A and B are shown apart, each in its own frame.
Chain A
Amino acid sequence: MLLAVLTFMLLVTAAIRRVPVFDAFREGAAQALPLLKTILPTLAVFSAAMALFRESGAAEVLETALSPALKALGIDPPLVPLLLSRPFSGGAAVAALSDIFTQYGPDSRTGLTASVLLGSSETIFYSLALYFGSVGVKKTRFTVPVALFCMLVSIASGLLLSSLFFPA
């Protein structure tokens, strides 16, 4: 609703400023295509690996082994691949999320919690390597501990808020 209003306001503003809306949209959307090209290979390899990991029964073994710890932390076992891959790769995390959606449905408790966890966290190690690597920075000072701590905050609050918003 709010988004529809905002989009409408954007169109009106664009019209007043004489922006060629069609051309501007095409120009922006065209930039999405190279992104797709970069995401797809990562998505493919992790999607395949995660499907194998789950269907082979390896996931079950891991989940049984971890289940006392996971229960204590209030983490649903199917969320483990998502949580483990999230700091390293957005593509792998999206692969894990779609796997959960296919298995449990996007509106199941697992699906909802997984959505919140993915939405509220970032690919911290990937960004660190890419951003600092691009300008040759080796000494990152306080960045890694702060980023890690924030990741823990978002996971903990994501789990807590999910159990508040989506009671079993």
Chain B
Amino acid sequence: MNVMLFLLLGAGIAASLVSGRDALASLQSGASAAVDTALRMSGVYLLWMGLLNIAERAGVMRALSRALRPALRLLFGNTGEAEEAISMNLAANMLGMGNAATPYGLKAMRILNESNPRPGVATDAMCVLLCVNASCLELYPASLAGLRQSFGSAMPYAVVVPTLFASLLSTVSAVVLCRICCSRS
């Protein structure tokens, strides 16, 4: 991250010295655009995290995680108490809210680590959690659709289906590879 920022800024300033363009004005307008983008994003997050919490309080998430249990068992093995945190993590990820998924993911890691026979070495379930997270299936990319809409898109949902398929392929490859790797070790 640090290297990347250094390269972006370094190359940008060097190029603006050569071309004689106003570097500070670009930086300033970029930073202001960030506030704009953050406000657009926060509308989406406020709405969806509010709705998700209603779903949690109404027991919908618990029902969903029960329904997901056979699939989770198959993928993760018996994870006991971590199961609920894992299913919440995956649910938030499937809605395209990686930031909202993180607290649940960290909670799941903590619970999984409590029963880790070799501290410092990742268990099968931890590796699978990370791999599935890294490839996560997007049922509905809420924050993406919201961001598109706020930029005045006439078809904010046009990207939902291709996104779903692309992430599905990625998740399928994650599941297949994890099964191969887990059984080997």
Contacts and interface: CB of A to CB of B under 8 A. Distances in A.
Interface of B: 1, 4-5, 8-9, 11-16, 18-19, 21, 23, 26-31, 33-38, 41-42, 45-47, 49-60, 96, 98-100, 102, 105-106, 109-110, 112-113, 116, 119-122, 126-127, 129-131, 133-136, 138, 140-141, 144, 147-148, 151-156, 158-159, 161-163, 165-167, 169-171, 173-174, 177-178, 181, 185
11 contacts: A25-B53, A47-B33, A55-B16, A88-B4, A90-B98, A95-B30, A116-B166, A119-B167, A142-B127, A143-B122, A157-B166
Contacts of A99: 33
B176 to A, nearest CB: 10
Interface in A92-149: 92, 94-95, 97-99, 101-102, 105-107, 111-112, 115-116, 118-124, 127-128, 130-132, 134-143, 146-147, 149
A29 interface: yes
B15 A146 contact: no
Contacts of B9: 49, 52-53
B53 A51 contact: no
Given A52-B23, A95-B33, A165-B162, 14 more contacts: A3-B140, A19-B58, A28-B54, A38-B99, A46-B5, A97-B147, A106-B152, A122-B133, A143-B122, A146-B127, A147-B134, A153-B135, A154-B166, A161-B166
Interface residues of A, number: 97
